[in-house]
């Protein structure tokens, strides 16, 4: 029969500890909550009170239940208060020597049968366990931040953890309403091993002024549907904690350079910029511990101000191409009130694109998103042509032809001859250097990338790519156009993958490598990212949707341009592509979709 946990101890009431106390107390379990000093204890108590008050205010917790919850928590300074608990979870800062000292002390204080658990994110549970005389009763119980909200718990067993202890802890997780994945002791377990390389990379982009903090975060939220951008997430995790996790993962996880903390992180930690908990990290918060971001000197000006920054007036837009992206982009511009000239390579293609745009607009009418009059007006704004000469008087051209550099360069050379001066020339390329296309013209200052996401009418994000020759006016124009389309334009440099793909695909590739190493299953890895990090899809679900061939091609580009050894495509991904398992489109990828 599973062990009954009626009283648990929590050591350290910081970002994680306070949340873990709440999880237990909410589920009717008595908690002894321990800190190192009276002031720290007070902070922990205040964090718990703040969180439960917010839950009451949001109607997620009855006031009476809140009071009962608080009655279950007994606060104390020092580990001696833990003499009769059934389980202890340690959540002190991420330092091995500190954790080892605490475990040695817990071993002395607690009853012999008490299970000792660590909430470490990256340290070796095994190394922590050997500080006690009961390593078989030591286990990792890794909660996610914020602990009361995130459903996932990673249960980490070492080679000596007893199977009964694992089973008891799994049963406890179920009682707490959590979903657990049980895994072996490896740096970063599942979720952090996949998350922290990405977070560090995002900090590197910010440090290199590749894009602003707002743009990096907006890109990942709007481009991938993530609940938070990476820099906002670093602030939530705490930069000191994140630094220690990266540092440990670097040392334990095979010295992968991608885990070597970006120098800026160390500087921020030293300067006391720890994120939300200190009131300032990548963003500035109302006060310490507050989730409310307030403007600071780095907050960008409102869009109108940016428009005053030299953005040119755009009324007529040319769209070149006849594929999925061109079709979507024509629709987006026409719906937003622009006059659109569509240019394809023949009237037959034009007729097809016209049909596709009509079908899509009609769907909008059926779904009640568009009136018939709006549909007709949008269609009325589009003219269909098979010759570039009709682009002589447009203000902006968006190119969305095949992803081949020679074709795009030839097209831009023609546009250079045909278009009037001052026109902004945009390419939707997702993988080619924009500067190559720009240099096919005599006006590289007017050339930008406008990287729409598929399906263009739905996806709210556009990456505005500026090359080293792009003028500030052309960038401002592109950004203003995105805003007029009702989309968020994020500005970034001209590097492989821009923001979204550069941050997304290495993470997907790492998930494949994790699967290949048999550390976990595709199901558990997908679970971990969805329930631990709030991702809308797990990496294997997403790879099957995007297409394994497309993913492999993007990953190869990133690897070739950045020469980062950690970006080398996972052999398993290559093999699946070779075998013709490309994802949903071939009914088989990481999963078999033939019956769905």
Ligand X SMILES: NC(=O)c1ccc[n+]([C@@H]2O[C@H](COP(=O)([O-])OP(=O)(O)OC[C@H]3O[C@@H](n4cnc5c(N)ncnc54)[C@H](O)[C@@H]3O)[C@@H](O)[C@H]2O)c1
Residue 38, Cα to own-chain centre: how many angstroms? 37
What is the Rg, in whole angstroms, of the alpha carbon atoms belonging to the chain? Answer: 27
Through-space distance between the first and last CA atoms of the chain, rounded to whole angstroms: 39
Of the listed 51, 122, 142, 322, which one is catalytic?
142
Whether 551 is catalytic: no
- Cβ neighbors of 180 (< 8 A, separation 6 or more) are 152, 153, 154, 155, 169, 170, 173, 174
**CB of 11 or CB of 512, closer to ligand X:** 11
Q: Say if CB 452 and CB 329 are below 8 A apart.
A: yes
Sign of CA dihedral 287, 293, 299, 301: negative
| Residue 139 lies near ligand X (rule: CB under 6 A) | no
Collapsed DSSP state (helix, strand, coil) of residue 497: coil
- Compare residues 32 and 388 and give the one whose CB is closer to ligand X: 32
Q: Which is nearer to ligand X, 99 or 375 (CB)?
A: 99
Can you tell me which of 7, 51, 114, 120 binds ligand X, judged by CB under 6 A? Answer: 120
Q: What is the dihedral of CA 66, 286, 295, 297, to 10 degrees?
A: -150
Given candidates 7, 52, 114, 119, which one binds ligand X under the rule CB under 6 A? Answer: 119
Sign, CA torsion 188/190/191/194 = positive
Q: Tell me which residue has its CB nearest to ligand X.
A: 14
Number of residues that make up the chain: 596
- The answer to whether 426 and 397 have CB atoms below 8 angstroms apart is yes
What H or E segment, with its residue span, contains residue 397? strand 396-399
Residue 192 falls in the annotated catalytic set: yes
Contacts with 579 (C-beta within 8 Å, 6 or more apart), sequence order: none
Give the footprint of ligand X on residues 10-39 (CB under 6 A): 11-17, 34-36
**Which candidate, 242, 9, 166, places its Cα nearest to that of 103?**
9
Q: Give the range of 86-94, 224-232, 312-320, 480-488 binding ligand X by CB under 6 A.
A: 86-94
Q: Which one of the spans 176-184, 205-213, 238-246, 427-435 is the region binding ligand X (CB under 6 A)? A: 238-246
Q: Which stretch binds ligand X (CB under 6 A): 141-149, 290-298, 469-477, 570-578?
A: 141-149
Contact flag: residue 241 with ligand X (CB under 6 A): yes
Residues 87-116 within binding reach of ligand X (CB under 6 A): 91-94, 102
Nearer to ligand X, 77 or 459 (CB): 77
d(CA 105, CA 218): 45
Least distance (Å) between residue 336 CB and ligand X: 40
CA distance 389 to 372: 32
Least Å distance, CB 17 to ligand X, is 6
The residue (of 39 and 263) whose beta carbon lies closer to ligand X is 39
- 70 as an active site residue: the answer is no
Q: Total number of residues binding ligand X (CB under 6 A)?
A: 28
Phi, psi of 287, rounded to the nearest 5 degrees = -165, 170
CB of 119 to ligand X, least distance (A): 4
Residue 167, CA distances (Å) to 26, 132, 150, 189 in order: 22, 21, 21, 19
Q: How far is the CB of 144 from ligand X (least distance, A)?
A: 6
Q: How far is the CB of 40 from ligand X (least distance, A)?
A: 4
Residue 547, sorted as left (phi over 0), alpha (psi -120 to 50) or beta, turns out to be: left
Which x/- pattern over 266-305 shows residues binding ligand X (rule: CB under 6 A)?
-----------x----------------------------
Kindly name the residue from 22, 51, 94, 121 that is annotated as catalytic: 121
Residue 15: CB minimum distance to ligand X, A: 4
For residue 40, state whether it binds ligand X (rule: CB under 6 A). yes
Q: What are phi and psi of 486, to 5 degrees?
A: 80, 20
Identity of the residue, 46 or 579, whose beta carbon is nearer to ligand X in the bound complex: 46
Q: How far is the CB of 2 from ligand X (least distance, A)?
A: 25
Contacting residues for 234 by C-beta, under 8 A, at least 6 apart: 199, 202, 203, 242, 275, 281, 282
Q: Which helix (H) or strand (E) holds 218?
A: helix 213-224
**Closer CB to ligand X, 93 or 263, in the complex:** 93
Identify the active-site residue in 122, 192, 430, 520.
Answer: 192
Instruction: Give me the catalytic one of 154, 244, 463, 541.
Output: 154
Segment interacting with ligand X (CB under 6 A) among 81-89, 138-146, 257-265, 375-383: 138-146
**CA 281 to each of CA 93, 156, 233, 482: distance values in angstroms, whole numbers, following the listed order:** 18, 30, 10, 29
* 142 belongs to the catalytic site: yes
Judged by CB under 6 A, the stretch of 197-205, 236-244, 321-329, 400-408 that binds ligand X is: 236-244
**Residues with a known catalytic role:** 121, 142, 154, 192
Binding site for ligand X (CB under 6 A): 11-17, 34-36, 40, 91-94, 102, 119-121, 142-145, 237-238, 241, 245, 277
């Amino acid at each position: 029969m599973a062990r009954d946990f009626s009283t648990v101890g929590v050591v350290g009431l910081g970002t994680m500890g306070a949340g873990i106390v709440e999880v237990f107390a909410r589920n009717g379990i008595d908690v002894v909550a321990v800190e190192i000093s009276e002031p720290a204890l007070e902070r922990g108590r205040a964090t718990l009170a703040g969180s439960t008050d917010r839950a009451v205010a949001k109607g997620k917790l009855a006031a009476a239940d809140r009071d009962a919850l608080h009655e279950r928590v007994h606060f104390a300074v020092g580990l001696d208060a833990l003499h009769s608990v059934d389980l202890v979870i340690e959540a002190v800062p991420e330092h091995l020597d500190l954790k080892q000292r605490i475990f040695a002390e817990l071993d002395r204080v607690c009853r012999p049968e008490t299970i000792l658990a660590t909430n470490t994110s990256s340290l070796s549970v095994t190394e922590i366990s050997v500080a006690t005389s009961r390593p078989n009763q030591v286990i990792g119980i890794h909660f996610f931040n914020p602990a009361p909200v995130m459903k996932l718990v990673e249960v980490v067993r070492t080679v000596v953890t007893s199977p009964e202890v694992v089973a008891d802890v799994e049963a406890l997780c179920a009682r707490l309403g959590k979903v657990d994945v049980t895994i072996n002791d490896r740096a970063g377990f599942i979720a952090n091993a996949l998350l922290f390389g990405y977070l560090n990379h995002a900090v590197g982009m910010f440090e290199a002024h590749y894009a602003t903090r707002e743009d990096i975060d907006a890109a990942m939220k709007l481009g991938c549907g993530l609940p938070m951008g990476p820099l906002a997430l670093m602030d939530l995790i705490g930069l000191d904690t994140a630094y220690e996790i990266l540092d440990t993962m670097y040392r334990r996880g095979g010295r992968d350079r991608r885990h070597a903390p970006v120098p800026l992180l160390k500087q921020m930690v030293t300067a006391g910029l720890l994120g939300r908990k200190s009131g300032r990290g990548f963003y500035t918060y109302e006060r310490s511990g507050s989730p409310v971001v307030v403007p600071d000197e780095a907050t960008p000006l409102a869009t109108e101000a940016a428009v005053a920054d030299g953005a040119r007036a755009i009324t007529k837009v040319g769209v070149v191409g006849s594929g999925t992206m061109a079709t979507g982009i024509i629709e987006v511009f026409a719906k937003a009130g622009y006059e659109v000239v569509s240019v394809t390579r023949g009237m037959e293609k034009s007729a097809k694109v016209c049909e596709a745009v009509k079908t899509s607009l009609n769907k909008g009418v059926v779904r009640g998103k568009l009136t018939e009059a709006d549909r007709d007006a949008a269609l009325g704004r589009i003219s269909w042509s098979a010759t570039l000469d009709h682009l002589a008087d447009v203000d902006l051209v968006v190119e969305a032809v095949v992803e081949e550099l020679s074709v795009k360069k030839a097209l831009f050379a023609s546009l250079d001859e045909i278009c009037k001066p001052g026109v902004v020339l945009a390419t939707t390329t997702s993988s080619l250097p924009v500067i190559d296309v720009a240099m096919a013209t005599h006006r590289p200052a007017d050339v930008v990338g406008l990287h729409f996401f598929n399906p263009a009418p739905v996806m709210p994000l556009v990456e505005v790519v500026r090359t080293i020759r792009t003028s500030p006016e052309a960038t401002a124009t592109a950004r203003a156009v995105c805003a007029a389309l009702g989309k968020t334009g994020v500005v970034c440099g001209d590097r492989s993958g821009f923001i979204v793909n550069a941050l997304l695909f290495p993470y997907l590739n790492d998930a494949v490598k994790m699967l290949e190493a048999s550390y976990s299953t595709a199901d558990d890895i997908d679970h971990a990212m969805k329930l631990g990090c709030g991702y809308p899809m797990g990496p294997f679900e997403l790879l099957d949707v995007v297409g394994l061939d497309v993913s492999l091609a993007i990953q190869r580009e990133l690897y070739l341009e950045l020469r980062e050894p950690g970006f080398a495509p996972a052999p398993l991904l290559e093999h699946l592509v070779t075998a013709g398992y490309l994802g949903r489109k071939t009914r088989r990828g990481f999963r078999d979709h033939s019956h769905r």
